[in-house]
């Protein structure tokens, strides 16, 4: 276990549903990330939060809405998704101490999302 | 824009073989490079992290090298075992980017046959 948990592990939803993915880290980190991993494509960074503030939105469609209520929790709210949004969604956390810091990201197991 | 390429896309070897996985990146202005392992249905586990000033890092049977000027890294696995079967991902962090933003390659799927 890496200290980063994600729920649910599997999710099937229709295009008109609204659902949320949850991530929790127990490492005392101050930065959290959402990644999307589609079949046969590299891992894509979606959002970055530092100290609960969003510092990166990698041109993600508005049907994906992140929320970071505190440094330990990160949510990804989903609505009106498309079948091509089916993927593995990974959460990660790290300790950011500013530019140039040496650190690594710790990943959760991911949520396998299928959009029908 | 940084792009990371991994070759081969898939590799199948008999147990006990030494093997090399390759990673190349287009922008040599990197801060560090990491190799991750991903098992089916699981997240990523960091294997080795090489700073831009370093040439290599070793952990057990794993050795990663970095040639920043040519934009290449290799992951060497000695005496491979079936338990090494997984997807291996290479990721770089660019120097001028604030924060820990990683750019990943598509990965190499490794199967070690017993």
B4/A104 Cβ within 8 A: no
Report residue A96: phi and psi, to 5°: -95, 125
Q: Name residues whose C-beta falls within 8 Å of residue B91's C-beta, 6 or more positions apart in sequence.
A: A43, B4, B33, B34, B35, B36, B102, B103, B104, B105
B41/A109 Cβ within 8 A: yes
Interval B15-34: pLDDT, tens: 999 999 999 999 998 989 99
Q: Dihedral sign, CA of A85, A107, B102, B96?
A: positive
- DSSP state, residue B75: E
Whether residue B49 is predicted with pLDDT greater than 60 in this model: the reply is yes
Name the percent of chain B lying above pLDDT 90. Answer: 80
Segments in A1-116 forming alpha helices (H): none
Quick one: pLDDT band at residue A100, thresholds 50, 70, 90?
low
pLDDT score of A66 = 96
A104/B46 Cβ within 8 A: yes
Degrees, nearest 5: CA angle A17-A57-B109: 80
Which residues on chain A are in Cβ contact (under 8 Å) with B109? none
Tally of CB atoms within 10 A around B44: 28
pLDDT score of A96 = 76
Pick from B6, B99, B102, B106 the residue to mutate for testing the A interface (most A CBs within 10 Å). Answer: B99
pLDDT score of A99 = 57
Cβ density class B49-72: b for 16+ within 10 Å, e for less: bbeeeeeebeeeebbbbbebeebb
B43/A42 Cβ within 8 A: no
pLDDT score of A101 = 57
In this complex, is the C-beta atom of A40 within 8 Å of any C-beta atom belonging to chain B?
Answer: yes
Query: Measured in Å, how far apart are chain B's first and last C-alpha atoms?
Result: 41
pLDDT score of A55 = 83
Interval A1-54: pLDDT, tens: 679 999 999 999 998 889 999 999 999 999 999 999 998 788 999 999 988 888
Quick one: pLDDT band at residue B13, thresholds 50, 70, 90?
very high
B43/A104 Cβ within 8 A: no
Alpha-carbon distance of A92 to A73, in angstroms, equals 11
Whether residue A98 is predicted with pLDDT greater than 80 in this model: the reply is no
Which residues on chain B are in Cβ contact (under 8 Å) with A27? none
Which residues on chain A are in Cβ contact (under 8 Å) with B106? 40-42
């Amino acid at each position: 276990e890496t200290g980063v948990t994600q729920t649910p592990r599997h999710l099937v939803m229709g295009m008109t549903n609204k659902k949320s993915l949850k991530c929790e880290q127990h490492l005392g980190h101050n930065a959290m990330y959402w990644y999307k991993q589609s079949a046969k494509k590299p891992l894509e960074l979606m959002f970055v939060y530092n100290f609960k503030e969003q510092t990166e939105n990698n041109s993600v469609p508005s049907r994906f809405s992140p929320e970071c209520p505190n440094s330990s929790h990160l949510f990804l709210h989903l609505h009106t998704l498309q079948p091509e949004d089916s993927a593995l969604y990974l959460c990660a956390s790290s300790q950011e101490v500013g530019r140039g810091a040496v650190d690594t990201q710790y990943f959760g197991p991911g949520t396998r999302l299928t959009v029908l | 824009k940084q792009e990371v390429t991994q070759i081969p896309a898939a590799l199948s070897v008999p147990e006990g073989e030494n093997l090399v996985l390759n990673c190349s990146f287009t922008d040599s202005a990197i801060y560090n490079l990491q190799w991750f392992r991903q098992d089916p249905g699981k997240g990523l586990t960091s294997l080795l992290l090489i700073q831009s000033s370093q040439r290599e890092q070793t952990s057990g049977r794993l050795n990663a090298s970095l040639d920043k000027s040519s934009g290449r890294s290799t992951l060497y696995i000695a005496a491979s075992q079936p338990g090494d079967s997984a997807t291996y991902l290479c990721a770089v962090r660019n120097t001028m980017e604030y924060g820990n933003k990683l750019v990943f390659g598509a990965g190499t799927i490794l199967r070690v046959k017993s």
